[in-house]
Amino acid sequence: MPDKTRHGPGAGPQPEAGAGGTAAYGRVSPAGVDTAHGAILYLEDVTVSFDGFKALNRLSLDIGVGELRCIIGPNGAGKTTMMDVITGKTRPTSGTAFFGQNIDLAQLSESQIAHAGIGRKFQRPTVFERHTVFENLELAMRADKRVRPTLLGRLTDEQIGRIGHTLDLVRLTAHAGREAGLLSHGQKQWLEIGMLLMQEPLLLLLDEPVAGMTDAETERTGELLDELRGRHSLVVVEHDMDFVTRVAGGGKVTVLHEGSVLAEGTMSEVQSDPKVIEVYLGR
Amino acid sequence: MSAPATHALTGQGAARAQTGLPAGAQAPAPALAALARRPLFPPAAWAGLLAATAALALLPLLNLAFAPGHPLHVSAYAVALLGKFMCYALAALALDLVWGYAGILSLGHGLFFALGGYAHGMYLMRAIGRDGVYGSDLPDFMVFLDWKAYPWYWSFTDHFWYAMLLVVAVPGALAFVFGYFAFRSRIKGVYFSIITQALTFAAMLLFFRNDTGFGGNNGFTDFKRILGFDITAPGTRAALYWATLAALAGFLVLARAVTQSKLGRVLTAIRDSESRLRFIGYEPLGFKLFVWTLSAVMCGIAGALYVPQVGIINPGEMSTETSIEMVIWVATGGRGTLVGPIVGAGAVNGLKTWFTSVFPEFWLYALGLIFVLSTLFLPQGLVGLARRLAARRGKEA
């Protein structure tokens, strides 16, 4: 369904039809998800209304394979609702959400969507506070997560090595045996990103990854995203404009407003868009 | 990076952290492997478990070997009492698996306990044969109701092993079906607790009816023999006691194996944040159903061991108080510790035995007080208290 990538009325300017700007065509093509057209996520005319209030209003968006897409927008623009639709927490009132060309997200449960390869980091860190850092990563690790293998399985050396690698990546090796509830706020955020990485997701959704972080932690998170860039498709929802400017680089930024796409382009294009300025600076 | 650095210096994990983990090493670093592969019990706990089991196993021997009046004699009353307490302890252990680990508070475990008891009771009733008051093939209560034959669901219950199958299958099947619908509808927390309570109450009303075919409010009693042995003989009583002890120790090890596996960590994750667990790809339904059914089966076995030792089973075991008392045993001993509920069941029932002989009418008030006090002052129960004291002593030394 290549035609689904065309934007609906009300959507902002879109430079190319089909895949996003920085998409690497067909580079990651795991079994199950068909990304032959270069895009990993398509939202088409998605509307979500709560008692008549439209949290999303005919939102259309597509994310390329391997792309790092930043999504910004004022409060209430529908950013979190969009994440909820993608992860199956909220069902669209109308419109379609596809993972690759072939997986209809509206048909799957939250855990099935996670299995298909979409990982989500929540706004507030939601690690398992009473499990150790190691156990958090172990629980998240891509594996057969049905009852019997979970009861009888034992970690292989290779799996322990993978956990060790992720611990290094998120700089929590020294804290592996601590209860996650004892970590600092920034460390919890990284642990959560580490948990996402353990699932080897194809698409990673990060909801305000640097909210509440110190400058040093924010900088470290930027480095972490740089390391993930290209290896995973990433969607970053963020309020912190400096951070968005830093991680977006020359990549595409999408501005949401009142539940639909207001503008799309590089950070400098978007920042000079009069509509965006009006929304951000008040009317 | 100042915040993580200070944590590394001050946190509990600092000691382990300083062992150092070479980045990108091929074989897993020893510190990580130690986190990943934990023994079932630490050596000290194995020793303690074996010592406690051996000491408990010795008591019936002391009862049989020494005549009353001898300083080493243990009274038959004490042996019977401990046997009963161990059945309660097994039920508490079962409840701890679902409540302490998966966070599912059941106020209906008395039902599974009673069903296991009734299933075994059916065999024991038929083993009476013609030695009943009326000398009939049918149990006395059926003769009294003028029934001419056993109802269909009593079929084959004259076979001991079939009755044992029912002990496992009936509570297990009920828990599975009930759990499937409740968990699938995502019924949680206090709502789930109330429904288990309602189910148990409904079952109690059903079993109180004479027409149900389980002896109405009198239940089953006057058992004569089990597997051909006189049920009141000291040797039979000792064998039942040992069977109970073996079941308790075996299920403790099994429960420990379950909670130490990755599945145990999934259960505690369900308890702490079920929706989060869904997002990392686990479907909680199967896990809850597994532990819930396992727990019900354990509770049924506890009931089946209880009935021949106590000599009676009636619908009172399904009363609200019985199920709530089980929760109090677990809370008093220490939720989510496995050993705690066993200690708690022993401690609370020991106290109950003393209390009901001295001030019988005040026991329920005392029980309520225990619950309030342990909730306020012993959030982790007696086991938590012992651990705190041990930690303090460790610090002073």
- What domains does chain A contain, in order, with CATH numbers? 2-281 (3.40.50.300)
pLDDT mean over A141-158: 90
Cα B142 to chain centroid, rounded: 32
Distance (Å, whole) CA A80 – CA A78: 6
pLDDT for residue B151 is more than 70: yes
For residue A217, list chain B residues with Cβ-Cβ distance below 8 A.
Answer: 3
Instruction: Please report the pLDDT score of residue A110 as a whole number.
Output: 86
Tell me the chain B residues in contact with residue A131 when contact means C-beta distances shorter than 8 Å: 265, 268-269, 272
- Determine, for residues A138 and B16 on separate chains, whether the beta-carbon distance falls below 8 Å: no
Q: Do residue A126 and residue B276 have CB atoms under 8 angstroms apart?
A: yes
Closest CA to B128 of B157, B169, B168: B157
Cα–Cα separations (whole angstroms), residue B188 to A51, A89, B94: 26, 18, 19
Q: Which of A121, A146, A150, A157 to mutate to test the interface with B (most CBs of B within 10 A)?
A: A150
User: What rounded mean pLDDT belongs to chain B?
Assistant: 90
Q: What is the pLDDT of residue A52?
A: 83
CB atoms A151 and B263 under 8 Å? yes
Residue A234, pLDDT score: 92
pLDDT score, position A29: 36
Residue range A51-73, pLDDT digits in tens: 888 899 999 999 999 899 999 98
User: What's the average model confidence in pLDDT over A249-277?
Assistant: 89
Q: Could you tell me the pLDDT band of residue B27, with boundaries at 50, 70 and 90?
A: low
| DSSP-based helix, strand, coil % in chain B, nearest 5 | 75, 0, 25
End-to-end CA distance of chain B: 35
Six token digits for residue A179: 């209860």
pLDDT recorded at residue A281? 67
Q: What is the ipTM of this complex?
A: 0.83
Give the Cα-Cα-Cα angle B139, B144, B145 (nearest 5 degrees).
100
| Segment of A86-90, A222-226, B177-181 carrying the highest mean pLDDT | B177-181
Residue B185, pLDDT score: 94
Please report the pLDDT score of residue B35 as a whole number: 83
3-state SS class at B124: helix
> For the residues B291-315, what does the mean pLDDT come to?
97
- The residue ranking higher by pLDDT, A34 or B140, is B140
Higher pLDDT, B190 or B395: B190
Q: Which of B258, B261, B283 lies closest to A111 in CB terms?
A: B283
Q: What's the CA gap between A197 and A167, in Å, rounded?
A: 10
Q: What is the mean pLDDT of residues A260-282?
A: 86
Q: At what angle do helices B262-279 and B234-260 cross, to 10 degrees?
A: 50
Contacts of A164 in chain B (CB under 8 A): 21, 25, 28-29, 32
**Surface of B (261-300) touching A: CB under 8 A:** 261-263, 265-266, 268-269, 272-273, 275-283, 286-287, 290
Nearest to B295 by CA among B237, B328, B331, B341: B341
Whole-number pLDDT of residue A133: 95
Confidence category of residue B22, pLDDT binned at 50, 70, 90: very low
B29 touches chain A (CB under 8 A): yes
Rounded (10°) angle between helices B381-396 and B339-358: 110
Predicted confidence at residue A236, as pLDDT, reads 93
Q: Work out the minimum CA distance from B17 to partner chain A, whole angstroms.
A: 4
Taking the C-alpha atoms of residue B258 and residue B291, their distance in angstroms, rounded to an integer, is 9
pLDDT of the residue at B278: 86
pTM exceeds 0.95, yes or no = no
